[in-house]
Structure 1
Amino acid sequence: MTIRNSEFVFVKSVKDGIPNRDPLNDSDARRLFPEEDGRISLSDVSVKRDVRDYVLALYPDGGPDKKNFIFVQQVLNDKGKLLGRGGLAEKIAADAGQTESFKKDPQSVLLNHSFDVRTFGIVYSVKNVSFHLTGPAQFGWAHSMHPVDTQYVQGTVVMPSTESAKEGEEGKSQGTIWTTYTLPFAVFAMPGVINSFHASRTGMTEEDQELLLKALWQGTQHRQARGRGLQQSLFLIHVEYHDPHYRIGYLEDLIRLLPDRETWIKADKRPSSLSEITLDVSGLMERLEQEKDRIARCRIWVNPSLTVSGDTDAYRQPLW
């Protein structure tokens, strides 16, 4: 089935960690807004990494039809060095049994056998071969829906960092001190679109679209690390349109977190758990009703732990 023009909003939370750090700011949270605004942000690269790593874990061998390999990933060669674009592409072709076809038409082989190439596009330039395809799925930055204060913390590792270099010499007898920024709790909203024209060029299928949505939800919970915190998928809406040149746009602006930002600022407090917040989607539901003749399909996934204000029953889907 042909991909329809569509857009989505994904809401997730994090506890005791920062999912996407800023290396230019001592690995603190990324802040696209002024400090006084209080909000922090996650890049689209970070969220795409969650999707890719989930698909890679789900289909390490490319899946039954060898079509869901991941192109953008870290792979080491026999000498322990990272593969570049050419090496990664050749590996996919070899694993898919398409080495000879790859020599003639590398673009088609990658489109046929790589999920992230079909979905997110590709910039490929190796020796005398180059091509560029814009991905149908494009994500915006994810911004926290409330002001956030990060904390600078430190601790110690019991294990010494070095051992003795020579027999009879003593190594370090104490552990190592570590420092990091963290935050107790935050809720993020991330918008995205799927362009039907670009989907026709890359060959993205409805099956790819469904895997993308599933990977957004489950990949968020799959890719955990101490520094990234414990993440939880909360809310996902996907709206498809009849007109390939139309979308409502900025759906994330129709979603509010209660209490609102000003309340937290005045109280000089920050939310610390899901029990303290409500996701108000009543404005979004009203807009969907106004645009119902333009909408081909609307689906909503909701974490049962999240309190939601607004009637979403008509669009609710079972969780994966």
Structure 2
Amino acid sequence: MAINNGEIVFIKSVKDGIPNRDPLQDSDARRLFPEEDGRISLSDVSIKRDVRDYVLSAETNGGTSKKNFIFVQEKVNEKGKLLGRGSLAESIAEQVGKKQEAKTDMKSILVEHCFDVRTFGIVYSVKPKFNLTGPVQFGWAHSLHPVDSQYIQGTVVMPSSDVKDDGGEGKTQGTIWTSYIVPFAVFAMSGVINAKIAEQTKMTKDDQELLLKALWQGTQYRQARGRGQQQPLFLLHVEYNNPFFRIGYLEDLIELVPGEEVWRNGGKRPSSVKDITLNVSPLLEKLNEYKDKIANVRIWVHPSVAVDGNIEIYKQPLW
């Protein structure tokens, strides 16, 4: 079945960490807005990494259908060397029994067997070169409020080196580590699904459903101490009747309560999900305004977050 033009809004929270650090700012939080604005951001690359890593784990060796391999991944050979684009593609072709076909038509093989190629597109720089624009494009995720990151320091008990073989002293004390963390933040990310481009990459309805599931479960799956404790809170998927229409900027119609004025003017800043409410009433009003152009609306909500607005007709069971 053909993909409908669509929009996605995904909201998640993070505690005690930074999901996507800025290497140009000593691995502090990324800030695309002026300092006085205070909001922090996560790149679309980070969100796609969550999706890819989940699919890579959930759909082992391409899944039962051999359709859900991940092309963009970190993989090493038997000597521990990272594989490049050509070697990754050849590995997939070999696993699906199309090693000979790959010599003349690698594009068709990757489109047929790689979830991220059909969904996010591909730049293949190995001859014969080709590229495909992905039908799914995410914007940057921005916090719904000003955020202050904290610079912290700690120690590791283990010394960084052993006693030397010649009897000389090794390190006798543990090492010191430093890091930035964010105590609590709520991020909203927008995305679009282009129906016409989906035809070119052969993205399917099954790919779309896997994408939505991976957004939710991938946020929970991808773990690292520095990334903090992350929780998916709200996911909206709107499908349109017209392949050339979308409302746009739906994330701007969701408000965080308490609002910006409280955070900026010295009020108590929420420290967990239980301290906030998502006001989606403006969003629901906009969806109702364009209901004649909408084919379907679905919403997933984590039970820990309070929502202001009647979403019951759109609410879906969690995976």
TM-score normalized by the length of structure 1: 0.98
What is the SS of the residue equivalent to 2:230? strand
Structure 1 residue 141: Cα displacement: 0.3
Report SS of the residue matched to 2:313. Answer: helix
Task: Tell me the equivalent position of 1:276.
Answer: 275
1:266 to 2:301 alignment? no
Give the conservation status (yes or no) of the 8 Å contact 1:237–1:299: yes
8 Å CA contact 1:147, 1:270 repeated in 2:
no
Task: Report how many aligned residue pairs link the two structures.
Answer: 319
Distance 2:147 2:25 in 1: 16
Q: Distance in 2 between matches of 1:287 and 1:268?
A: 31
Alignment of 1:33-112 (within 5 A): 33-112=33-112
Within 1, Cα distance between the matches of 2:34 and 2:76? Answer: 40
Q: What is the match of residue 161 of structure 1?
A: 160
SS of residue matched to 1:10: strand
TM superposition score normalised by structure 2? 0.99
Range 160-169 or range 10-19, more displaced: 160-169
Alpha-carbon offset, residue 167 of structure 1: 2.9
**Cα distance between partner residues in 2 of 1:268 and 1:143:** 21
Residue of structure 1 equivalent to 2:254: 255
Letter in 2 for 1:80: G
Which letter does structure 1 place at the counterpart of 2:257?
L
Residues 149-200 of structure 1: CA distance to partner in whole angstroms, max 9, x if unpaired?
A: 1000010000111113323112100000000000111000000000011100
Give the 4+ runs in structure 1 shifted more than 4 A: none
Structure 1 segment 1-320 matched on structure 2, within 5 A:
1-126=1-126, 128-267=127-266, 269-320=268-319
In 2, Cα distance between the equivalents of 1:267 and 1:197?
48
Q: SS of the residue aligned with 2:129? A: strand
Q: For 1:72 and 1:233, locate their aligned partners in 2 and report how far apart those are by CA, in whole Å.
A: 24
The separation in 1 between residues aligned to 2:266 and 2:274, in whole angstroms, is 17
Where structure 2 has 5 or more consecutive residues not aligned to the other structure, the ranges are: none
Q: Secondary structure of the residue that 1:296 maps to in structure 2? A: strand
What letter matches 1:104 in structure 2?
T
Which is worse superposed, 264-273 or 96-105?
264-273
Task: Report deviation, 1:269.
Answer: 4.3
1:5-54, CA deviations, whole angstroms, 9 ceiling, x for partnerless residues? 00010000001000000000000000000111110000000000000000
- After superposing the two structures, state which structure 1 stretch, 218-227 or 262-271, moved more: 262-271
Structure 1, unaligned runs of 5 or more: none
Q: Secondary structure, in 3 states, of the residue corresponding to 2:265?
A: helix
CA distance in 1, matches of 2:261, 2:310: 25
For residues 35 and 239 of structure 1, the distance between their equivalents in structure 2, rounded to whole angstroms, comes to: 33
- Counterpart Cα distance in 1 of 2:203 and 2:61: 19
